[in-house]
Amino acid sequence: MMWRVALIGVLWCANAYALTGVSITADSITYDEAVLTDAKVTLDLSGNDQAIVDAKTLQYGAARLDDAHILLDLKANTTLLVKARQISSPQFDARNPTIYLDYRQTTLQPTLSFNAEIKPLSDKQWANFSLHCLIPPNKQNDTWHCVDGLYVGERTRVPFTIDFLPQPNGLEADIQFKQVSFSDESGLHAGDKLTGSVKLSAQLVKSKWSWKGVFSWKEGELFWQPFYFGQAGNQFDIQGTYQAPMLNIQQANLQINGVGQLSASADINVQTKAFNDIKVKARDVDFAGLYQTFIQPMAQKSVFGNLRVSGKADWEFEVKDLQPQNFELNIENANIEDLNGKFGFTNLNAHIPWDYNQAKQIFLAYERGHLLKLPLGLTHLAAEVNRYSIVTPQLNLPILDGALQFEDVSAAWVGNGMVWHLQMKLQPISMNSFSKALGWPEMKGHIDGQIPLITYANQQLNMDGQMRFNMFNGMVAMSDLRIDRPIGVAPKLYANLTMRDIDLGDLTRTFNFGSIEGKLEGDVKDLRLENWKPVYMDAIIQTADGKHLKKVSQRAVENITALGGEGTAAALQRTFLRFFKEFNYEKIGLSCQLRQDICKMGGVESTPSGFVIVKGKGAPTVNVNGYTQYVSWKDLLARMQRITDGNTKAVVQ
């Protein structure tokens, strides 16, 4: 170290020399733990009695001050002022810091003040920071009380106070915050009017830190994408150890107002960010609060995103070396209702365990429910889950007065999604109860059928073979069924439909349509539904050829005319024939080419000005022609509803 000393002034008197100032410069100065480079020390002894230190850098531990300026009052070491251009540390940077130490006797207790612009290394924005601390008599063993703390950034305001107690190998701190507000640039995290406290303590014993903390949130709102906490009264306490590189969370308890208490433990490698061992438990949790706080925000874009729920739930899971080990969910007396009307369950109870190393039996039951408006009866379901697969030989799902019977059910989690397959049989359901449940006109007879194989993979459901339903003494079949994202918000369905040998007498009497004798057949090709609403199809329904009775009643003619819409006319051979109750026909048919909401209508034949809906034959006979080719699908459905309600009285000419 090189020293250069200059006598600023010499005052000669009779007996002695008197110094008015001394200036000392050095390449470096080391004092205790502080190291100064390119330093200059100036002593002002002319009456101000000050020491002024300027240095290019001042290194103190891991912190470095650039262009440091220190002003010390030498009268009684009463004040110390430290300024710098910036402070650099492993945790944060500071610009234009000012540190002021006041030991004057005019104050009740010595004080230490700090003001600066600071920026955590992970942030882009600078913030103003200030803190005022009372220095205790014993700095090493007494509590420091710091008040008027304030952190103000572009999107952040944090008023706080802090009490901390230095210890030989640790620290205890109690932080009180009030009316805190913050948000980030992305808008994914925000808080408003947050008031609460944070208590921390840490002790170092033989290279291992033992620590614990308690976070209490008394007022305010917090949003942490995708979760929103609107009710205060929450508390989070945590304790554990740290020995590089392992952070051990021995116990963490989270008490959430309106939900319940969750507890957890974990081992975390802070270098690799790997969670080596995680255990989470929740007991007697309010199902409604759990859904609103944690489940609904993550399920907004799924079919489970708009539910009303109640009941209690217990759950726990364990993860070791990033591999799930076990899981268990118990639901007690829960009610679940989709507010969009797609499904609902009453008094649902479930025991759903899972273990990586051994098979488990799962159980689910509910008192009643509904699926797409179809009522579900008392149901008990059981299956075996083995690691990432679930199997059961049979599941029975009561629906109305029948049931859906699933056989050979097998599902597995493969890659990033679920795959499964099953066979299905529909045990006879009365058409009366089925039609009432769907809000359709009252029907008679029964519906039953079977599906050879249904598979699901890559969020797509496919049916192999043909699904056949027996109804009205005939058959309705569906083939080439495919549903994309069946449990998504906007599923898409693709299929072809076939109808054969439907008894028109039974069908028309069911719908209060008037009497038509004969057989009905039809095809719906390239049917496409979006969010369960038709947007595309090529459909035709018509009477079948063959040697069977072909009669149509006058009321049926009126309703067919109304179904054809404005401009449709029924022409009788002679005026007096309008008094006949029924007529012979050769062919009856109607077609629709649907594109979005517009249906291009057609019949059994085309005419220069339209199409033929009813083609008469023999005597007495009747013909019905349609002239409006393009009609809204909604209007067509409305016509059908008016007809079946019996409100239509068409004029027969």
pLDDT in tens, 550-565: 998 888 888 887 776 6
pLDDT band at 124 (very low <50, low <70, confident <90, very high): confident
Q: What is the pLDDT of residue 175?
A: 95
DSSP code for 291: I
For 436, the enclosing helix (H) or strand (E) is helix 431-437
pLDDT of 576 strictly over 50? no
Q: How many Å apart are CA 191 and CA 193, to the nearest integer?
A: 7
Tokens matching residue 472: 């009205």
For residue 92, is pLDDT > 90? no
pLDDT for the residue numbered 77? 61
Segment 262-302, tens digit of pLDDT = 898 988 887 777 777 888 898 889 988 888 887 788 777 77
pLDDT at 616 over 90: no
Q: What is the 3-state secondary structure (H, E, C) of 31-78?
A: ECCEEEEEEEEEEECCCCCEEEEEEEEEEECCEEEEEEEEEEECCCCC
**What is the pLDDT, as a whole number, of residue 9?**
41
Pick the range with the lowest mean pLDDT from 147-156, 175-184, 473-482, 642-651.
642-651
pLDDT tens-digit series, residues 411-427: 998 887 889 999 988 88
What does the pLDDT look like over 463-507, one tens digit per residue? 888 888 778 888 889 999 999 988 777 889 999 999 999 998 888
Identify the pLDDT of residue 441: 64
Q: pLDDT higher for 411 or 572?
A: 411
Region of poorest pLDDT, from 61-65, 314-318, 435-439? 435-439
Angle at 429 between CA 424 and CA 433, to 5 degrees: 135
Q: Percent of the chain, pLDDT > 70?
A: 91
> What is the tens place of the pLDDT at every residue in 205-255?
888 999 999 999 889 888 877 778 877 778 889 999 999 888 999 999 988
Q: pLDDT tens digit string along 308-364?
A: 999 999 888 888 877 888 989 899 999 999 998 889 999 999 999 999 999 999 999
Give the pLDDT mean for 37-51. Answer: 84
Structure tokens at 627: 């002239």
420 neighbors 410 (Cβ within 8 angstroms): yes
Give 81-84's long-range contacts (Cβ < 8 A, gap of 24+): 84/58
For the cut 70, the answer to whether the pLDDT of residue 11 exceeds it is no
User: Would you say residue 543 has pLDDT above 90?
Assistant: yes
If one compares 115 and 138, the residue with the highest pLDDT of the two is: 115
What pLDDT score was predicted for residue 14?
38
